Amino acid sequence: MKPHNFYAGPAILPKPVFQEAADAVLNFNGTGLSILEISHRSKEFTAVMEESQQLVKDLLNIPDTHEVLFLTGGASSQFYMTCMNILGSDQKAAYVDTGTWSTKAIKEAKNFGQIEVIASSKDQNYNYIPEIHGDCAEYRFTHITTNNTIFGTQYQNIPSLACPLVADMSSDIFSRPLNIDKYDIIYAGAQKNLGPAGVTLVILRKDILGKVERNIPTMLNYQTHIDKGSSFNTPPVFPIYVSLLSLRWLKSIGGVAEIENINSAKAGKLYQTIDDSKLFFAPVRNEDRSKMNVVFKIRNEELQDDFLRFSTESDCIGIKGHRSVGGFRASIYNAMEMDGINKLCDVINDFDQKHG
């Protein structure tokens, strides 16, 4: 009996992906070789890379203005790579501070240009998405974190500004459709809603490159990876392959429009259960509640450890909240099935009835 995995990331992947991935470790595509020992220049892996890039384009409706790259280093590396590549040292960029990861992005950006924090929800421990005032026309770009894994907030409407967006979508990419026209760069660590740890997805507008004057190391220049089909050096073969399996699964169930419906139903049911309980409450402002990371707390904090123990014993694991928020967090990415939601709701209801 497999536990229901509510960890924030690395996180659950679609069920069929695990079996297909294990099979490929033993015999990839009938080659008799493991996916772990095939050359990244082989026709088999080239096909994996091309299909992965194409599926990202198809699923998110990405036109030829933008390129899809599979890099490494996580979102943490994109915090500086974005600015290094497109922000001149005399240019201004706007950042919205919605929590830990935004704060880190701001810190790294400051090495490369003039960074202004134009909105922040720090005053209420990041439990809402702050409003942007003005159209931001004076900035090279505005940076947002579309979903805040730790605090459980999410943009339900992406701002329309007079400058392009650069967005960290690590924890909600592929959870809903997006309008690529708004973005110069989208980046996402795979290990939440796409694949295993070890690969970073970058989608970027091609004509924004080559316009800053600084020296950029070859590996940190997006153009290097565009020119070489995301295989300038050895890419992380297995993490990309597992991401491909997960993208194929998403396509097979109807793509991002369909998963958005499913995600809304899952999050809706869980928040409703929390709202209906006596003991539990969700601290995030209603209209900014994340459909990926459901943060909730218990009114009687003495029962916190009891509930964690009870949920774990009931095969719902990974719901301890991040230390900067406390309480609980259920991460319910694309691969979490309604089955798991129902189980967690039962656990919440049972505990509420017993102690509420």
Write down the catalytic residue from 97, 168, 172, 288.
168
Give the separation between CA 291 and CA 63, rounded to whole angstroms. Answer: 27
Give the separation between CA 201 and CA 186, rounded to whole angstroms. Answer: 8
Query: Which CB atom, from 205 or from 225, has the smaller least distance to a copy of itself?
Result: 225
Query: Which CB atom, from 164 or from 195, has the smaller least distance to a copy of itself?
Result: 195
Q: Which helix (H) or strand (E) holds 263?
A: helix 255-276
In the block, tokens 């929590």 appear at: 99
Write down the catalytic residue from 97, 101, 266, 352.
101
Query: Which CB atom, from 194 or from 204, has the smaller least distance to a copy of itself?
Result: 194
Give the separation between CA 168 and CA 146, rounded to whole angstroms. Answer: 6
Task: Tell me the closest approach of the beta carbon of residue 31 to a copy of itself, in angstroms.
Answer: 8
Whether 330 contacts 20, CB under 8 Å: no
Query: Which CB atom, from 41 or from 133, has the smaller least distance to a copy of itself?
Result: 41
Task: Tell me the closest approach of the beta carbon of residue 89 to a copy of itself, in angstroms.
Answer: 12
Task: Tell me the closest approach of the beta carbon of residue 248 to a copy of itself, in angstroms.
Answer: 16
In this structure, the strands spanning 293-298 and 328-331 are antiparallel
Give the separation between CA 185 and CA 183, rounded to whole angstroms. Answer: 5
Task: Tell me the closest approach of the beta carbon of residue 21 to a copy of itself, in angstroms.
Answer: 5
Nearest to 192 by CA among 5, 7, 11: 11
Task: Tell me the closest approach of the beta carbon of residue 267 to a copy of itself, in angstroms.
Answer: 20
Based on the residue annotation, tell me whether 172 is a catalytic residue of this protein: no
**Helix or strand or coil: residue 49?**
helix
Query: Which CB atom, from 23 or from 50, has the smaller least distance to a copy of itself?
Result: 23
Task: Tell me the closest approach of the beta carbon of residue 195 to a copy of itself, in angstroms.
Answer: 8
Query: Where does this chain bind a copy of itself (CB under 8 A)?
Result: 1-3, 5, 7-13, 17-19, 21-23, 25-26, 32-34, 36-40, 42, 72-77, 79-80, 84, 104, 107-108, 111, 189, 191, 195-199, 215, 217-220, 232-239, 242, 318
Backbone dihedral region of 175: left (phi > 0), alpha (psi from -120 to 50 degrees) or beta?
A: alpha
Based on the residue annotation, tell me whether 90 is a catalytic residue of this protein: no
| Those residues with Cβ within 8 angstroms of residue 18's Cβ, 6 or more apart along the chain or in another chain | none
Query: Which CB atom, from 243 or from 273, has the smaller least distance to a copy of itself?
Result: 243
DSSP string spanning 163-186?
S-EEEE-TTTTTSS---GGGEEEE
Whether 199 contacts 241, CB under 8 Å: no
Write down the catalytic residue from 97, 184, 192, 291.
192
**Helix or strand or coil: residue 203?**
strand
Based on the residue annotation, tell me whether 101 is a catalytic residue of this protein: yes
Whether 35 contacts 25, CB under 8 Å: yes
- Provide the annotated active-site residues: 101, 168, 192
